[in-house]
Amino acid sequence: MPTRRQLANAIRALSMDAVQKANSGHPGMPMGMADIAQVLWADHLKHNPGNPAWPDRDRFVLSNGHGSMLLYSLLHLAGYPLDIEQLKNFRQFGAHTAGHPEVDAHLGIETTTGPLGQGVANAVGMALAEKLLAATFNRPGHDVIDHRTWVFLGDGCLMEGVSHEACALAGTLKLGKLVCFYDDNGISIDGEVHGWFTDDTPKRFEAYGWQVIRDVDGHDPAAIERAIQAAKADSDRPTLICCKTIIGWGSPNKQGTEATHGAALGEAEVAATRKHIDWPYEPFVVPDEIRAGWDARAAGAKAEHAWTERLASYRKAYPELAAELERRLKGDLPAGWRKAVLDFVQAAQDKPAALATRSASQKTLDVLGAAIPEMLGGSADLTGSNNTNHKGSKAVTADGVGGNYVHYGVREFGMTAIMNGVALHGGFIPYGGTFLVFSDYARNAVRMAALMKQRVILVYTHDSIGLGEDGPTHQPVEHVASLRLLPNMRVWRPCDTVETGIAWASAVERTDGPSSLILSRQALPPMARTPAQLADVARGGYVLVDSAGAPDCILIATGSEVGIAVDAAKRLTEAGRKVRVVSMPCVEAFDVQPQQYRDTVLTPGVPRVAIEAGVRDAWWRHVGSRGAVIGMETFGASAPAKALFEHFGFTTDNVVRTVDGLLKS
């Protein structure tokens, strides 16, 4: 029977071999945390390599994602479908063993990590989702949702501000099934961290309301076991286990130094390490007895079977609840939700009213909240401004009972990363709001939502210089364009209540990526539409006002500028011009439409003018060399919105002048 140390050494050997073969990577962390990983994965982690995505599994998050070979070694050894060839192709094109973990639930990779701090923030979202699902569906004697979230993190994660944002909230919400192992090795890429990281980390987490277990020897299995047992015994607080470790443990000449952090050990040191840890096997060779000691397939199948039996019993006792739980875990939307939204949209079209799109969004949420119980909302301390609550909203509190709205506090980055974790966990559709200008704070988590293809809905209000008197610090100029630059992001900037409702519907039913809803502070006029035009809104761009005959010019506008374009078209038509107005609430949705449809909207060869109260650059690809763009070239200013629109040229007069100049040239 292999010892714990021998089992842990399999991780060390595979990790250093893979990094050496790639001549790229981070061997130090996997070698330093191998003993912790062995105790956790062998004796505590509830998982099934034969069915990696079963709903009641524990989640394991490698927040210090540069140590990815630790995770790949664990998955391989435990019996997940990650064979030895994948490890041999570490960091190579097409392999599942990327330099940093990339989410793949079917392989047991729960989230994409690498940008430090985001993994632990994702884990907070996973633990929150578990707590809320358990509170909603569990009944006495029927704990069908009962799992933990385990996190490995390092000092780099804790230096990043997002860890503060997320972990402070985790303590407040008493996420007692969240357990983090802090790899306190005192080393980062630049060397010993005491020159720039002197935080009293245990006190910091105690102040958050966490249970903190100090000074655990991360190379002593008995000490690790005691710490895990203490963590599991405290159901009211998340736990931070502070593990003293040696980076690169086992490397006789480099352990404990930055030399093991981000580079291969070198052939000579790999050979010396093999001898030092008594691993007399060729690279990538793991003996059968050690493989058998790691194989978790039988135990995993048993754990899942036990849950399946509990679910069957639950289904008999509470058939309606069970059906609802299973629907949500599958990610299916409830029957009738779309009709409810479209009925709202039709009513808005039939009885038009001027309304800020942030207010229109709230009215849409009143419908969605009633029709889709898994909507989990929130705001970064701007609920009254973002209008992200609805008639059925109830605050999430530490007791976790019945809440569906998270008051994230002033934590834009943390909010977004937590929402990513909620989406990854499943059972909820997360959405959260802030001012558009503060999307910058959350940018990397927004990027990760797009990279991971998660259904996360980002509500960004106060969308332009229309914000007014708060001035240029709060007026987003470049932000819409910046969001549109993100691959796999859908950016909706609706012009009225109708487009807002359809934007929400599109975001909710999209399962392969995030959506950003860009909403106005100020009231916007409603637009008249035929049934055909109404049906085309979801295409992202459509003809809102057409000319009598082939157009001389096409005006393209979004959001608050659509009304300006319509007024300008009326003036130009009265002057004898043939002008078409295209509303383009979602450029990305429009750009994937069939070419034939796009050509019917933007007729080839016809001069075009784009109008949007943001930076101009991205619109040139839609207007072409014969076109013009009315947009921002500077930051805004502090003044009433009307004065700003006039000053920066977002007026009917300026659109008319621009068109006249274009057609005369």
Angle between helices 28-43 and 221-233 (to 10 degrees): 60
Q: What H or E segment, with its residue span, contains residue 243?
A: strand 239-244
Burial class of residue 604 (count of CB atoms within 10 Å of its CB; 0-12, 13-18, 19+): exposed
Contact 96, 37 (CB under 8 A): no
Strands 542-545 and 579-583: what pairing? antiparallel
Q: Which two tokens stand for residue 600?
A: 């019917």
| Spatial separation of the C-alpha atoms in residues 149 and 505, rounded to whole Å | 31
Q: Which residues contact 581 (CB under 8 A, 6 or more apart)?
A: 543, 544, 545, 546, 554, 555, 557, 562, 565, 566, 569
Among candidate residues 484, 385, 380, the one with its CA nearest the CA of residue 432 = 380
Closest CA to 519 of 361, 378, 383: 361
What is the distance between the alpha carbons of residues 69 and 50, in angstroms, rounded to a whole number? 21
Annotated active-site residue 412? The verdict is yes
- What one-character-per-residue DSSP string does 121-189 give? HHHHHHHHHHHHHHHHH-BTTB--S---EEEEEEHHHHHSHHHHHHHHHHHHTT-TTEEEEEEE-SEET
**At 454, which amino acid appears?**
Q
Q: Closest by alpha carbon to 60, among 424, 413, 431, 398?
A: 424
Q: How many CA atoms lie within 13 A of 240 on its CB side?
A: 30
Catalytic member of 130, 165, 304, 412 = 412
Tokens of 152: 């490995």
Q: Whose structure tokens read 């945390």?
A: 33
Q: Residue 664 has which token pair? A: 């005369």
Count the Cβ atoms, other than its own, within 10 Å of residue 635: 13
What amino acid occupies position 5? R
Beta bridge partners of 205: none
Which residues are known catalytic residues?
A: 412
